[in-house]
Amino acid sequence: MRLSHLFLRIGVFVLAAVACTFAARATVAVVEDVSVVAVQEDLVDAEMSWASVLGDGLQIILEGEAPTEAARFRAISTAGRVVDASRVIDNLSVTDTAGIAAPDFAVEVLRGDTGISIIGLIPLGSDRDALDARIARIADGAPVTDLLETADYPVPPTWRAAMDYALRALDLLPRSKISVTQNRVAVTAIADSADQKASFETALARNVPAGVRREVRITAPRPVISPYTTRFTIDGDGARFAACAVDSTETEQQIVEAATAAGFDGRSPCVQALGVPSRTWGQANALAIKAVADIGGGTVTIADTDITLVGLESTDQDTFERVAGVLENALPKVFALTTDLPRPVEATAEGPPTFAATRSPEGGVQLRGRVIDDLANMTVENYAAAKFGAANITMGTRVGGELPQDWGVRVLAGVEVLAQLVNGSVTVTPDLVKVTGNTGNANAPAIVTNLLIDKLGQTAEADLDITYVKELDPAAGLPTPDECLANIATVTEGRKIVFDPGSASLTSDSQPILDDIAETLERCPDLALQIAGYTDSQGGEEMNLALSQSRAEAVLDALRMRRVPIGTFTATGFGEADPIADNDTDEGREENRRIAFSLTQTVEEPTTLEQVESDADTDTESEPESDPAPETTK
C-alpha cells in the first residue's frame, strides 16, 4: 500500500510538470504571436513595410533590407518601443547605395522687385556657404527665401558649371526666372527696352559652359509713340519716309506696299509701337501715300487721326483738289484731312531771317542768327547750355528785325533737334527747318520728325539729311557674326519654323519666331547669312528641291518685311539632302523638314535651328532639344 501511494504521488507530480510545461509553452507562443503582430503593425504604420518580424520565444527578430542606415536604426527603435529592447534581434541589412541612380538635381530661382526665392534639390557636396553668399550679394539687401534641399549623391560633372552660369544670369537679370538642371539652363526674363533685351541676349551668349544647353526667352515692351506718326515725301530726291509707326507686321506690310507702289525702294523704317489710334491705321496710311503719288509729289503727315496733305509748289491746282477729294471720301471716318498747296514766295533783297546751330564732332556748339529780344536770347543760351553744357556753347546771335510770331518756338525746336545729332547743323527759316549731320541713333529721323510736328505743327516743312553712323551708336556692332548666330539659336530654342503642308506658306505659329529672329538680326548689319531649306525624302527629288527653295525664300521675304537688311543674305533649297534623322519614321521626317541658318563666310554646311548654338558658340557642345512642332507634310 505504501508503495502504490508513492507511485501515485510521483505520477501526479509528473503530470503536473507536463501540464506546466505545456502551459508555459502555450503562454510563450501567445506572447510571441502578440509581440510579432504588435511590432509588425508599428513598423507598417511607420512606413517600414520592408522589414519583416519573426518570433523566437520571447525574442523578436527583424529581417529585411533597409534603404538607408537611418531607416535601419528607426526600425530597431520602433520595435524597441513595443517590446523590451533586449529582446530585439537585429538581422537587418542596408541597401548598397552605390547601385542606386542619383536623383535629378534641379533648382528654380525667381528674382523680382520683392527679392529672390530659390527652391530645388542640390548635391550634398555643393558649397552651400558660397552659394548662399553669392545669392545674398545678388539680392543686395532684398529678402532671400531659401527652400533648397540636399541629397547625398555624387555631384554631376556639369552641375557646378550650370549653376555658375545660372547665377551669372541671375545677377544680370533683375526680373527673371531661371531653371537649372545638370545639363540645361532655361532663362525667362523681362527687359525694360529693346536695346536692353539685345544687350542681355548678347551677354548670355558668351561663356556658355561646355555640355550645358541654354534656353533664353527675354521679352521687352514695345515703345509708346505719341503722337502716332507717319510722314512720307515724294520730291526731286525721290520717295522716302521721315517717320513711320505701326502696330503690327501686317500693318507695316500694307504701308510699305503702298510706298513701294509710289516709288519707295529703301528699307522699311517703320517702328512697331503702342499707341495706334485706330485699327484702320494701315488703311489710312496706304490711302494717304497713294494720294501723294497721285498729285505728283509732296508730303503727307499722319499724326494720330489728323492727316495733312501738302503738295509741291509745282502741283497742278485741279489735280490737287481732285485727289484730295478722293482721299477725303475714302479715308476711314475717324480720320480728318487738312490740305495745303503752297505757292512760290517772292524773293526779297535781304532774304528770310535765319537761325543756325552747329555742333562739331568734338562737342562744341555754335549758335548764330536772329532772335526776337534779349530775353529770348538768354532763353536760347540757357536751353542750349542745359542740352550741351555751358562750356561748349558759343553765342553769335543778333537781336531784332522782323520775325514771325512763332520764331522763338522755331529757334528752340532747332536747338532740340541739334541734340539728336552727334555732329551737324540745323538751319531755321520761317518756312523750313533744314537738318544735316550724323547720328548714332537709327531712329533719329523719326524722332526729329515727331519733335518738329509736336513743336511746330503738322504743316511744318523739314529737309532732313541725317546719316546713321554705326560707329557712333553705343549699342550697335556689339555682336560678332558668331554671336549673332548664337543669338538666333537662343531665340529659336525649342521652337521651329513651320509651313502649311505641301506649300511655302508660313503658319501663324511661325510668326513670333520670325519676329524674334528679326529683332536679333537688326543688330547684325552686313551679316553674311545663308537661309537653307530642307525636306524629308517623301515625294520626288525635284519637287522636294523646289519646295525647299520656296520655303527658304519665304523666310527671306518674311525677314525683309520685318525691316531686316537682307542684302547679304542668301536663300537656298537643298531638298532632301543631308538628313539629320531617319526618314523611315514620322519623328525623323519631322526633324528633316527644317529651316537652317549658317554664316556663309565661315560655315560651309548649314545647320538646323537646333544645331546653330553648337556651331556658333564654341563653348557649347550639346544640341538643344526641340519641342514637338506641327508636322509639315508634302
Any idea what the CATH number is for the domain that residue 58 is in?
A: 3.30.1340
Question: In this structure, is residue 346 part of a structural domain?
Answer: no
Lowest-confidence segment of 76-85, 257-266, 371-380 by average pLDDT: 76-85
- Given a cut of 90, whether residue 118 has pLDDT beyond it is yes
CA distance 220 to 198: 9
Q: For residue 342, is the peptide bond before it cis, meaning its omega torsion is within 30 degrees of 0?
A: no
Lowest-confidence segment of 85-94, 273-282, 351-360 by average pLDDT: 85-94
**pLDDT at residue number 612:** 40
Question: In this structure, is residue 12 part of a structural domain?
Answer: no
Lowest-confidence segment of 115-129, 166-180, 465-479, 487-501 by average pLDDT: 465-479
Of 98, 132, 160, the one marking the end of a domain is 98
Lowest-confidence segment of 5-14, 229-238, 498-507, 616-625 by average pLDDT: 616-625
**pLDDT at residue number 40:** 82
**pLDDT at residue number 22:** 61
The predicted model gives 67-72 an average pLDDT of 79
- Given a cut of 70, whether residue 140 has pLDDT beyond it is yes
**pLDDT at residue number 623:** 38
Question: In this structure, is residue 515 part of a structural domain?
Answer: yes
Contact present, 576 and 541 (Cβ < 8 Å): yes
Question: In this structure, is residue 10 part of a structural domain?
Answer: no
Regarding whether 320 and 233 lie in a shared domain, the answer is: yes
**What is the amino acid identity at position 406?**
D
Regarding whether 93 and 152 lie in a shared domain, the answer is: no
Digit-coded pLDDT (tens) for 479-495? 778 888 888 888 888 78
- Given a cut of 90, whether residue 346 has pLDDT beyond it is no
Digit-coded pLDDT (tens) for 516-572? 898 888 777 778 899 999 998 888 888 889 999 999 999 999 998 887 888 788 999
**pLDDT at residue number 603:** 37
What are the residues whose beta carbons fall under 8 Å from the beta carbon of 266, sequence distance 6 or more? 240, 241
- Burial level of 449, CB count in 10 A (0-12/13-18/19+)? buried
- Burial level of 301, CB count in 10 A (0-12/13-18/19+)? buried
The CATH number of residue 154's host domain is 3.40.1520.20
**pLDDT at residue number 592:** 87
Regarding whether 384 and 451 lie in a shared domain, the answer is: yes
Q: Residue 604's pLDDT band (boundaries 50, 70, 90)?
A: very low
Question: In this structure, is residue 600 part of a structural domain?
Answer: yes
Question: In this structure, is residue 5 part of a structural domain?
Answer: no
Of 44, 71, 98, the one marking the end of a domain is 98
Regarding whether 201 and 236 lie in a shared domain, the answer is: no
Strand residues in 194-252 grouped as ranges (E):
213-219, 229-235, 238-243, 245-246
Question: In this structure, is residue 348 part of a structural domain?
Answer: no
- Given a cut of 90, whether residue 305 has pLDDT beyond it is yes
Domain count, the chain: 5
- Given a cut of 60, whether residue 632 has pLDDT beyond it is no
The predicted model gives 165-174 an average pLDDT of 92
**pLDDT at residue number 29:** 61
> Residue 242 phi/psi, 5° resolution?
-95, -25
Question: In this structure, is residue 422 part of a structural domain?
Answer: yes
Digit-coded pLDDT (tens) for 207-242? 788 888 888 888 888 788 888 999 999 998 899 999
Percent of the chain topping pLDDT 70 = 86
Q: Residue 99's pLDDT band (boundaries 50, 70, 90)?
A: low
- Given a cut of 80, whether residue 615 has pLDDT beyond it is no
Of 198, 219, 240, the one marking the end of a domain is 219
Regarding whether 528 and 433 lie in a shared domain, the answer is: no
**pLDDT at residue number 31:** 60
**What is the amino acid identity at position 238?**
G
> Residue 184 phi/psi, 5° resolution?
-155, 135
- DSSP letters spanning 22-66: HHHHHHHHHHHHHHHHHHHHHHHHTT-TTEEEEEETTEEEEEEEE
Q: Residue 121's pLDDT band (boundaries 50, 70, 90)?
A: very high
Q: Residue 263's pLDDT band (boundaries 50, 70, 90)?
A: very high
Query: Residue 240 is part of which domain span?
Result: 229-340
Contact present, 105 and 181 (Cβ < 8 Å): yes
Regarding whether 274 and 188 lie in a shared domain, the answer is: no
- Given a cut of 90, whether residue 264 has pLDDT beyond it is yes
Regarding whether 322 and 241 lie in a shared domain, the answer is: yes
- Given a cut of 90, whether residue 399 has pLDDT beyond it is no
- Given a cut of 90, whether residue 290 has pLDDT beyond it is yes
Regarding whether 47 and 166 lie in a shared domain, the answer is: no
Average pLDDT, the chain: 83
The predicted model gives 336-345 an average pLDDT of 81
CA distance 261 to 291: 11
**pLDDT at residue number 281:** 96
Sheet bearing 176-181, strands edge to edge: 144-151, 115-123, 106-112, 176-181, 184-190, 213-219
Alpha helices in 140-246 (DSSP H): 159-172, 194-204
Q: Residue 176's closest CA among 218, 214, 138, 205? A: 218
**pLDDT at residue number 313:** 86
Regarding whether 128 and 82 lie in a shared domain, the answer is: no
Contact present, 313 and 342 (Cβ < 8 Å): yes
Cα-based distances in Å from 580 to 464, 490, 553, 591, 604: 52, 20, 21, 7, 16
Q: What is the three-class DSSP state of 258?
A: helix
Contact present, 489 and 608 (Cβ < 8 Å): no
Digit-coded pLDDT (tens) for 437-473? 998 888 888 888 888 888 888 878 888 898 888 777 7
Q: What is the three-class DSSP state of 439?
A: strand
Q: What is the three-class DSSP state of 517?
A: helix
Q: Residue 232's closest CA among 120, 143, 309, 340? A: 309
The CATH number of residue 554's host domain is 3.30.1330.60
Regarding whether 110 and 92 lie in a shared domain, the answer is: no
Regarding whether 580 and 455 lie in a shared domain, the answer is: no
Contact present, 590 and 631 (Cβ < 8 Å): yes
Per-residue burial over 198-236, b = 16 or more CB atoms within 10 Å of its CB, e = otherwise: bbbbbebbeebbebbbbbbbbebeeeebebbbbbbbbee
Digit-coded pLDDT (tens) for 361-395? 888 899 988 888 888 889 999 999 998 888 889 88
Regarding whether 609 and 485 lie in a shared domain, the answer is: yes
- Higher per-residue pLDDT: 40 or 629: 40
- Higher per-residue pLDDT: 76 or 250: 250
- Higher per-residue pLDDT: 527 or 168: 168
- Given a cut of 70, whether residue 162 has pLDDT beyond it is yes
- Given a cut of 50, whether residue 619 has pLDDT beyond it is no
- Distance, C-alpha 615 to centroid of its chain: 21
**What is the amino acid identity at position 449?**
T
